Amino acid sequence: MNNLKVFLLMAGLTALFASVGGALGGQSGMVMALVLAAGMNVFMYWNSASMVLRSYRAQIIDRAQAPELYDMVDRLRQRAGLPMPTVAVAPHEQPNAFATGRNPEHAVVCVTEGLMRLVDREELEGVIAHELAHIKNRDMLLQTITATFAGAISTLANIAQWGLMFGGGRSNDDERGHPAAALIGIIIGPIAAMLIQFAISRQREYKADAVGAEIAGRPHGLANALRKLDAYSKRIPMQVSPAVAPLAMVNPLAGVRGGLSSLFSTHPATEERVARLMGR
């Protein structure tokens, strides 16, 4: 069901790009925006791991530095059928974790120092299994694709905004949309693309929870860890860029949930994640 929802959301994002592109810039505008966005995101795809680690100030470790953590990752990745990822630790008090990397062969699993101090062994296994599930599901590739489309729509909107401001544009009606449609696209298009992108991220979290519970062999450790991480993330701030916040297991920039704010969250509500894990 989660995969079907992601497919439908991806189809919606593609249709949104086509409709907004046609309204704002015609075929040539669509192609230009897609090429620009794809170029930026290809760079991010290939360099994501090092950039994310720098943003979290994380340090790569070996077995000698943290044998229990390293062996846990090794054991769980074998159970998941994955190559051994790079293991890293970030110097943050907030308990959290993330996975990044362009594919399973170049993946990174990172935990914070606060996580290591807070959770017990079973809970840590659940967290590691969740992050390995993201690697197994190739969520980084999906994130790059959705970011490409969302970025292309924003690029189209910016181009059209400048065109309307300075009265530019082509005279051929096939190559330029109606001004009213362009104005709607400038306002609504990027917001809609962002909401779809966030909805895809939330569905991938549900999927990673389910697969993570399978890798760990039981859902209880992950469910208990989610409760703890959610509670502490709201009490202990983390200084991290909003651009990399969606990668974390729980929102490291957690604020007030509910209302419109839930629409703009890349993470589903923890209560719902726990309920799904426990089959309620």
Catalytic residues: 131
Element (H, E) at 90: strand 86-90
Q: How far apart are CA 204 and CA 220, in angstroms?
A: 20
**CB of 124 closer than 8 Å to CB of 225:** yes
- Give 253: exposed, middle or buried? Use CB within 10 Å, 0-12, 13-18, 19+: middle
Q: How far apart are CA 215 and CA 17, in angstroms?
A: 36
CA torsion 152→265→88→96, rounded to 10°? 180
**CB of 257 closer than 8 Å to CB of 230:** no
Task: List CB contacts of 270: < 8 A, sequence separation 6 or more.
Answer: 226, 227, 229, 230, 250
Cβ neighbours around 7 below 10 Å, total: 12
Task: List CB contacts of 234: < 8 A, sequence separation 6 or more.
Answer: 254, 255
DSSP 152-205: HHHHHHHHHHHHHHHT---S-GGGS--HHHHHHHHHHHHHHHHHHHHHHHHHHH
Q: How far apart are CA 163 and CA 171, in angstroms?
A: 12
Q: How far apart are CA 30 and CA 153, in angstroms?
A: 8
